[in-house]
Amino acid sequence: GGCWHQCCPGRNNACWAPGARWARCYCDSYCERTGDCCEDYHAVCRRAAVGCAVGPWGPWSGCSSSCGVGSKSRSRQVTVPPRHGGEPCPDLKQRRGCLGEHPTCGTAK
């Protein structure tokens, strides 16, 4: 067995292979702390792992409601996708509440 089939970020108990004498060895990055990595983990996973990188946040959108409660959103793009068990991407979208205050809101009764 070995990690040639998978490499996983973080602690992932499902990321294993049969090792010596049918004991499980692991291919997640946490195996370095616990000392139960598969023999080929460093060659296959650590050298090749590339973590996700993202660009800056874009501007907030306008409020979805011109009068009253609505929401705004913004996003950012992935500049380097994760590969070979590297760190996954963080959130790419954010939302927050807003209050639409168009000048005609108070006159529409």
pLDDT digits (tens, 9 = 90+) for 17-75: 887 777 889 998 889 889 999 888 888 886 666 788 999 999 999 999 999 899 999 99
Q: Which pLDDT score is estimated for 109?
A: 46
Determine the pLDDT at residue 77. Answer: 96
Going by the DSSP 8-state scheme, the letter that residue 92 receives in this structure is -
Q: Any idea what the Cα angle at residue 62 is, between residues 61 and 63, rounded to 5°?
A: 120
Classify domain 55-80+87-108 at the CATH topology level. Answer: TSP-1 type 1 repeat (2.20.100)
pLDDT higher than threshold 80 for residue 100: yes
DSSP 89: P
Give pLDDT, residue 51: 81
Report the pLDDT averaged over residues 80-92: 83
| pLDDT value, residue 48 | 63
Question: What φ, ψ does residue 69 adopt, rounded to 5°?
Answer: -75, 135
Answer for the pair 80, 42: CB distance below 8 angstroms, yes or no.
no
The segment(s) of the chain belonging to CATH 2.20.100.10 are: 55-80+87-108
Comparing CA positions, the residue from 5, 9, 2 lying closest to residue 86 is 9
Residue-level pLDDT at 9: 80
pTM: 0.54
The residue with greater pLDDT, 6 or 96, is: 96
Alpha carbons 65 and 17: distance in angstroms, whole number: 53
